[in-house]
């Protein structure tokens, strides 16, 4: 544990001109006295840690000292090679850059660790697209990815509801969801208006002639933004409600049939029946969608309302009864 702390201390000092004992103590979660002892241990081990005394003093590395990657443990080295998603990198046009980076890192590793990329790839693989869908890479993805990396303003034509709209965007990030690529971007000159665009619906992209760079909002976090928008989208399409009685098995299967958001809201207000079933009010996209989804549950679900949907299930049950006698 101390060895890991010493390595972290060196890396912290390598990344900053100097740090006080209090700052190092906070980062390393130790006392200032422990920081002093660790600095002395590093110095005795040949790491040129120098202590400046006085109110503005602190610890620093002298002589341009830099540590090497040969301090990586096997688990750390293998995790490094897992950090990229090969398919996604290839689609964004970054495969060559990623390959070169892996080669450079491999060359810096100890000989005993240079098989880390192979052993990791043999054991773990991420297959992002969903089942039964042929993934298609949008032709414009590499150009958009380049603009995302370089913080370049983009002018795009976007297909929406039968029309094409023009937008000048600040592209903040890319998301790959179940084989579909999305762009998280802010509309130019509207500091509050972050939106999500399906990249396969973008018909053209262009970088303005002056190749303007935009100032990123440092508070923007792509994972949090995506989670919030995904939740909003899931709720927005739930425009109708049906009342359903579920068996215990039906309750367990509901999230896999209707989706997490719909099932969570329904089960939060479930009422128990005398026969052990529960009655829920289920948000759904439409009665047609509800019919398809709830039919999957078979005898584990009974539609109570609306009447029109219940009659459809009654008719379906009669047909099935006829087939099975």
Q: Give yes or no for residue 145 having a pLDDT over 70.
A: yes
Confidence of residue 233 (pLDDT cuts 50, 70, 90): confident
Residues 6+ apart with CB under 8 A from 17: 60
Q: Give yes or no for residue 82 having a pLDDT over 70.
A: no
Q: What is the mean pLDDT of residues 3-16?
A: 79
* Residue range 171-186, pLDDT digits in tens: 999 888 878 889 999 9
Contacts 24+ apart (CB under 8 A), 260-264: 260/234, 261/231, 261/234, 261/235, 262/234, 262/238
Q: For all residues of the chain together, what is the average pLDDT?
A: 81
* Residue range 57-68, pLDDT digits in tens: 788 888 767 665
Q: Which of 104-113, 241-250, 304-313 has the lowest mean pLDDT?
A: 104-113
What pLDDT, on the 0 to 100 scale, is given for residue 9?
A: 84
What pLDDT, on the 0 to 100 scale, is given for residue 117?
A: 64
Q: Which of 125-134, 202-211, 226-235 has the lowest mean pLDDT?
A: 125-134
- Specify the pTM: 0.57
What pLDDT, on the 0 to 100 scale, is given for residue 116?
A: 66
Q: Give yes or no for residue 269 having a pLDDT over 60.
A: yes
Report the distance separating Cα 312 and Cα 155, nearest Å. 49
Q: Taking the alpha carbons of 27, 28, 31, 34 in that order, is the dihedral positive or negative?
A: negative
What pLDDT, on the 0 to 100 scale, is given for residue 281?
A: 92
């Amino acid at each position: 544990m101390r060895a890991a702390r010493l390595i972290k201390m060196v890396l912290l000092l390598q990344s900053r001109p100097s740090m006080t004992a209090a700052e190092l103590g906070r980062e390393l979660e130790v006392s200032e006295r422990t920081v002093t002892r660790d600095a002395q241990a590093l110095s005795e081990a040949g790491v040129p840690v120098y202590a400046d005394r006085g109110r503005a003093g602190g610890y620093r590395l002298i002589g341009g000292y830099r540590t090497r990657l040969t301090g990586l443990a096997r688990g750390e080295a293998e995790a490094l090679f897992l950090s990229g998603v090969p398919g996604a990198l290839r689609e964004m046009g970054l495969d060559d850059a990623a390959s070169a980076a892996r080669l450079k890192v491999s060359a810096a590793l100890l000989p005993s660790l240079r098989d880390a990329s192979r052993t990791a790839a043999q054991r773990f693989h991420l297959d992002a697209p969903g089942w039964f869908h042929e993934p298609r890479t949008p032709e414009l993805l590499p150009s958009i990815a380049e603009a995302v990396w370089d913080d370049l303003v983009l002018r795009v034509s976007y297909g929406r509801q039968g029309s094409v709209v023009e937008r000048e965007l600040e592209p903040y990030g890319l998301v790959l969801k179940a084989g579909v690529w999305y762009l998280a971007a802010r509309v130019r000159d509207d500091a509050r208006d972050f939106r999500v665009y399906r990249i396969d619906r973008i018909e053209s992209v262009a970088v303005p002639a002056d190749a303007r760079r935009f100032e990123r909002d440092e508070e923007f976090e792509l994972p949090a933004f995506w989670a919030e928008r995904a939740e909003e989208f899931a709720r927005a399409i739930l425009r109708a409600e049906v009342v359903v009685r579920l068996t215990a098995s039906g309750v367990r299967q509901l999230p896999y049939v209707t989706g997490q958001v719909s099932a969570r809201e329904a089960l939060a207000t479930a009422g128990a029946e005398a026969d052990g079933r529960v009655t829920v009010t289920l948000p759904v996209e439409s009665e047609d969608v509800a019919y398809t989804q709830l039919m999957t549950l078979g005898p584990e679900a009974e539609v109570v309302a609306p009447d029109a949907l219940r009659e459809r299930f009654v008719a379906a049950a009669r047909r099935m009864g006829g087939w099975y006698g």
